[in-house]
Structure 1
Amino acid sequence: MTKFDVFISLSADKKRFQSIFAYNVDLCGLMNNLSRITLLRAWMLNVIKYSNLKPHCPLEAGHYYIRNFTVEKGSIPVYLQAGEYRIVTHHYYKGKKNKKEIKVADFQADLEID
């Protein structure tokens, strides 16, 4: 599972961010059905291009990276206003017996849209 939080900076000093939206998604379900969801497909394929992640599940234990990441044309919705954005992801899975959340990884990316 992955929790996505997207924030926008509302202050001149660019230190205060306000949430625009947040949602949880079954990342493996998403990756295995990328052809159905065009915006998420663009985002995931953009990340996969600059990483050693596989484009499908299951993801095995290991070391993964994202290097020299560049936002590809078409992966940012045209309706987003210019500004400073922060994207935070929390990746986890739930244990089968006790349903306890087990943290896998957290990422934060800051993005400026002109």
Structure 2
Amino acid sequence: MAAIFRALFVGLLLCSACNLLEGHKPLNLLLFRRIVTDYNSKYVSNYEASVSADFTTINFTLNIMRTITVDVWLRATLAQRVSKKENSYRNVFTYDVNLCHIMGKKKGQSIIDFWLDNVMRNSNMPRQCPFKEGNFTMLNIQSDKETIPRFIRSGSFSIDSNVYMRQWHNDNLTNTIIYVDIKKR
């Protein structure tokens, strides 16, 4: 579940303004550099992510120990590195969305729907709420270069996401930081 939200987060953040600013150079390359994960051991017994050797895909493993019976929310922030210092990033934008509402809707044509389909393609993750306990994987998730907003310039970015349950006192489920490099021609 968290993995789907992390990958969805990448899609949401990088794809939210896909058709803005016509005439910018097309994307040449998006590389996943590193992923840092953490989880709440009250709900999750394992949450891992890995980046492929060529840095173009990511894989997630998640073990949910108990059924999550409330809506799950995603707070995600895209930030761009502003200097060579490791932690020197400037926020570009932040989302805070109810993932259960997004997943519960009929299939649409939005960027969110596109990314959710992309993330779920090679996954055994639940496709609706509530999320039942179990072992889940999401494999070979990659960015569709055509859906990255044109206003995003070449550079290094962090995608910081927190999956949480508002109704359970904003209790965290997982946290993920994905570091990516975007290079445009």
TM-score of Structure 1 vs Structure 2, range by shorter chain: 0.7 to 0.9
Q: What's the TM-score, normalizing by structure 1?
A: 0.77
Q: Give the length in aligned residue pairs.
A: 111
Deviation >4 Å, runs of 4+: none
Query: How far does residue 34 in structure 1 lie from its aligned partner after superposition?
Result: 6.4
Task: Measure, in 2, the Cα distance between the counterparts of 1:11 and 1:74.
Answer: 27
CA RMSD of superposed structures (Å): 2.3
Q: Over residues 18-62 of structure 1, what are the superposed CA-to-partner deviations in whole Å (9 max), with x where a residue is unaligned?
A: 111112110010122364461222222222224332333332122
Task: Measure, in 1, the Cα distance between the counterparts of 2:152 and 2:107.
Answer: 23
Q: Tell me if 1:44 matches 2:116.
A: yes
Counterpart for residue 11 of structure 1: 83
Aligned counterpart for 1:26 among listed residues 74, 93, 98: 98
Q: Tell me if 1:103 matches 2:103.
A: no
Q: Which runs of 5+ in 2 are unaligned?
A: 1-72
Counterpart for residue 88 of structure 1: 160
Task: Measure, in 2, the Cα distance between the counterparts of 1:22 and 1:37.
Answer: 22
AA matched with 2:159: I
Task: Measure, in 1, the Cα distance between the counterparts of 2:89 and 2:124.
Answer: 30
Aligned counterpart for 2:125 among listed residues 13, 32, 53: 53
Higher strand share: 2
